[in-house]
Structure 1
Amino acid sequence: MGVAIGSLVYSAIFVASWVNQVLIAQWMPYALYILLLAIILITAAFTYVFIRQGRATETPSVPESRILPITIIIPALNEESTLEQCVESLIGSRYPQDLLEVIIAHEVAPRCRDSTPAIAKRLAEKYCNVKAVPNDGEHSGSKAGSINNCIEMASGEIIGIYDADHVVEKDALIRACAHFVSSPELACIGGKVMVRNMDYNFFTTLVGNEYTVINNFSRFLSELITGTHLIYGSNVFIRKGALVRIGGFDESSLTEDCDLGMKLIYGNYPMKIDYSIRSYEQSAINFRDWWHQRVRWTRGSMGVLKKYMRIYSADTRMSRKSIETILLYSLGTGGLLFSVILIGFMGFMMYMNVITPLILFICCAPLAVLFASESMNEYKEGRGSILDTILSILVRPWVIYAYSLVGVYAVVLDILSSDHVWHENRRI
């Protein structure tokens, strides 16, 4: 569909006049090569930063008297197979236990259909700094609501958010704390999220680190161009004061993390990324879960974009914030804008015999570098494999074209005003 749309648009331009024919035949290839060169340079810069921060082995030193109290909130719905491992990894982290509070914000029946509440209660009885808080009041029914329900009772100066399928590296919390201590103005910092079930089945092996690379690269690119970045809803830390001032999470949003990021941007709150703050999550284990998750992310980002464009344009002027918002979310929702246009453009150029199919491989080359660098990093740390590196070079870069289909499908659903249906991912 992306090819069809692009072909229609560019065909209209082509037949308009002889000038357009000259433009497309003689100048478009040069413009395309310049664009590819820019992509390669940005990719190289990101790869350097990515690897340098990812290899940070020395844990920052924070004087004991300056370590900040921190509260970790774990929203949990039907997470009986993952919740305990997540909590145990937090309790086992290198952080003073008297300054660490863990709140399990779990849903209740009938929405919760497994033993998550019982596990949460047992963990709260086992550890004095763990609380189980049922989300059965006005905030019930959403991840954002379960977090909002716990903000007021949180004792920490810093609030961290982790999904229940995460396993946290031992120094993740102290690394985050070090940033807040050294930068009193800092409001939010996000870390690197990695996949821990790549070898579960054929699909997870094939997709591998796709999510890790694209998530981290989109945030890097957003920060490079706009000075701000997207927020991922797990392995993220926010000052409680800032979270209260912006009103917490939007419980009506499909992507509450994106909306929170826009609230912080709108309020001019400083944010950072540190790829050495690492946690490991379960990725989608089949194509159905993968597809529905990314469609939800895309539609959620579209909703956030429309919401904040209305806010920014209320004064009838196109402000700098409006332009930054467009840039930020067109970058963050790559499947929606960039890849659809790219595929349509490439298809039309090949149709006009201006470029060869080789260009499709050239466009994938920067992604191959990103995927391969992540795989090699993991291999050096004892978690990757030669097969994983080969797949990163030869298979995973083509995911950009799959993302284009996600973008088209999400746009169609939005045009038709289809209901927002939450598809729950299977856990292992």
Structure 2
Amino acid sequence: MWLKNLNTIFVVGYPIFVSIIWITGGLFSSFYRHRQSRKLLTADEEPFVSILIPAHNESDTLVAAVKSLAGLQYQHYEVVLIDDCSTDNTWELMETLAKQWAGQLAIHNLHLPINQGKASALNQGAKIAKGDYLVVIDADSLLQPDAVTQLMTTLLENPNYGAVTGKPIVRNRSTLLGRLQLLEYVAVIDLIKKAQAYLTGSITTVSGVIVAFRREALNEVGGWNPAVMTEDIDITWRMYRNKWQAAYEPRAVCWILVPERLRGLLKQRQRWSRGGLEVLITNRRGLYLNPWGQRGLLLESIVSNCWAILTAISLVAYAFQLFFLHNLSLDGNLLILMFTLNAIQFTIGFIASQEIAQLTLPELLLVPVYILYYWLINLVSCIAAISSYFVDPQRRGTWRSPDRGL
């Protein structure tokens, strides 16, 4: 009986505990950032930057992405478009865009004959890029006019920063799934990164949709790793192993498209979870070699995977009790506390991002659905990632046509 009670406390208590940590760290991070004086780079101070956009079958999104780059406040940059063996007209579109924007943007195109994944495409793009600083975005990313300026200001503030990542905000909101992911990005992902950066001095991962790199750091870690499922998580931890730091800059905003079909969302989250698991296994020695803050991030990842496994087992046990024994007992007080803290967490994220993310009050009505959605999606994707890793540990990442919600 005591083991069953302990399991119940962990399954329900873990989300409660991490919510408290995220809320506390996120609030202190926002207060600190608000009090901090900040002077953005001027045009005379800007180093030359290469903006890399890898793409595979992105003809529907590439035009808008390039157009957003033409509106940047940053003055000194080039654009490198990388076609990773697309089967649609992405390459032809890249050539058209280079001619169309010839007077305003310095666009260099690169065509790869074999689809070897995003990491390989970025490595090839970096070879022809001229800048000592590289900004990487996805082909659906629309940058705010000051996004690159914000990233570069933060990157140059600390010579130990190898990478600085920005804040993605969902722009396709016509479906329930799209709106739920909007809430997730502002109430969970943003809040977690703020809390991690403030409490540990590190973040679990940079966001591949908007991140700036110091070329010196990239060269030192050997560039992106084509052998992993998530190149952004992997390169973050390889930078840590080489004594570089990664930072989060929420004032650098980009607008992204997210999957609007459940199958596409689950595949995306399974890939994220598997990438996290690969990095955890690869960096297991970091549990006693890395700085304490990074050790905490690795330990949290272990606990998160344990939570997913025990929660899955508990759900099976609860279903058995309900359908065969007609008896189900749950701690109502813990459940109420969990939902209350998650509601507080969402409200904080909502308030912090309401203006920039163009959130409306009706989104508040989705809070109960959002809470269930977040934990269930993460549970399913985590279990699927653990299973796929042990079935096929050598699986490599290649691109397929993405679900952009279009």
3-state SS of the aligned residue for 2:128?
Answer: coil
1:215 aligned to which of 189, 196, 202: 189
1:250 aligned to which of 192, 204, 225: 225
1:356 aligned to which of 328, 331, 335: 331
TM-score by length of structure 2 reads 0.83
1:1-40 alignment runs, 5 A limit:
13=3, 39=18
1:154-303 alignment runs, 5 A limit:
154-198=129-173, 200-224=174-198, 226-229=200-203, 230-303=205-278
What is the one-letter code of the residue matched to 2:202?
T
What is the one-letter code of the residue matched to 2:46?
I
2:58 pairs with 1:79: yes
Rounded Cα–Cα distance in structure 1 between residues aligned with 2:195 and 2:263: 28
How many angstroms does 1:176 deviate by? 1.4
2:369 aligned to which of 384, 389, 395: 395
Contact 1:253 1:300 (C-alpha < 8 Å) held by counterparts: yes
How many angstroms does 1:323 deviate by? 7.5
Shift in alpha-carbon separation, 1:248–1:420, aligned structure 2, 3 A: closer
Rounded Cα–Cα distance in structure 2 between residues aligned with 1:359 and 1:34: 7
Stretches of structure 2 lacking an aligned partner (at least 5 in a row): 322-326
Rounded Cα–Cα distance in structure 1 between residues aligned with 2:300 and 2:290: 15
Contact 2:191 2:349 (C-alpha < 8 Å) held by counterparts: no
Contact 1:195 1:282 (C-alpha < 8 Å) held by counterparts: yes
Shift in alpha-carbon separation, 1:205–1:249, aligned structure 2, 3 A: same
Rounded Cα–Cα distance in structure 1 between residues aligned with 2:84 and 2:270: 24
- The more displaced of 235-244 and 121-130 is 121-130
- The more displaced of 255-264 and 117-126 is 117-126
Corresponding residue of 1:102: 79
1:410 aligned to which of 385, 392, 396: 385
What is the one-letter code of the residue matched to 1:136?
P
The superposition leaves residues 382-416 of structure 1 with CA deviations (integer Å, 9 ceiling, x where unpaired) of 7222221221x222112213311221222222233
Bigger radius of gyration among the two:
1
What is the one-letter code of the residue matched to 1:266?
R
Contact 2:132 2:216 (C-alpha < 8 Å) held by counterparts: yes
1:126-145 alignment runs, 5 A limit:
126-127=101-102, 128-136=105-113, 140-145=115-120
Contact 1:78 1:115 (C-alpha < 8 Å) held by counterparts: yes
Rounded Cα–Cα distance in structure 2 between residues aligned with 1:191 and 1:330: 24
Percent of aligned positions with the same letter in both sequences? 18
Rounded Cα–Cα distance in structure 2 between residues aligned with 1:244 and 1:382: 35
Rounded Cα–Cα distance in structure 2 between residues aligned with 1:122 and 1:331: 47
Rounded Cα–Cα distance in structure 2 between residues aligned with 1:334 and 1:368: 23
How many angstroms does 1:133 deviate by? 1.1
How many angstroms does 1:65 deviate by? 2.7
How many angstroms does 1:244 deviate by? 1.1
Task: Indicate the RMSD between aligned Cα atoms, in angstroms.
Answer: 3.6
Rounded Cα–Cα distance in structure 2 between residues aligned with 1:357 and 1:50: 32
How many angstroms does 1:256 deviate by? 0.6
- The more displaced of 178-187 and 325-334 is 325-334
Shift in alpha-carbon separation, 1:87–1:53, aligned structure 2, 3 A: farther
Rounded Cα–Cα distance in structure 1 between residues aligned with 2:24 and 2:69: 33
Corresponding residue of 1:328: 297
Contact 1:144 1:256 (C-alpha < 8 Å) held by counterparts: yes
2:279 aligned to which of 292, 304, 310: 304
Contact 1:39 1:366 (C-alpha < 8 Å) held by counterparts: no
Contact 1:335 1:406 (C-alpha < 8 Å) held by counterparts: no
The superposition leaves residues 16-44 of structure 1 with CA deviations (integer Å, 9 ceiling, x where unpaired) of xxxxxxxx59xx97x99997875454233
Shift in alpha-carbon separation, 1:220–1:331, aligned structure 2, 3 A: farther
Aligned length: 391
Rounded Cα–Cα distance in structure 2 between residues aligned with 1:291 and 1:276: 29
TM-score by length of structure 1 reads 0.79
Shift in alpha-carbon separation, 1:358–1:348, aligned structure 2, 3 A: farther
Contact 2:68 2:142 (C-alpha < 8 Å) held by counterparts: yes
Shift in alpha-carbon separation, 1:64–1:73, aligned structure 2, 3 A: same
3-state SS of the aligned residue for 1:208?
Answer: helix
Rounded Cα–Cα distance in structure 2 between residues aligned with 1:343 and 1:220: 29
Shift in alpha-carbon separation, 1:183–1:50, aligned structure 2, 3 A: closer
The superposition leaves residues 311-349 of structure 1 with CA deviations (integer Å, 9 ceiling, x where unpaired) of x38xxxx73329866642454588634444467679989
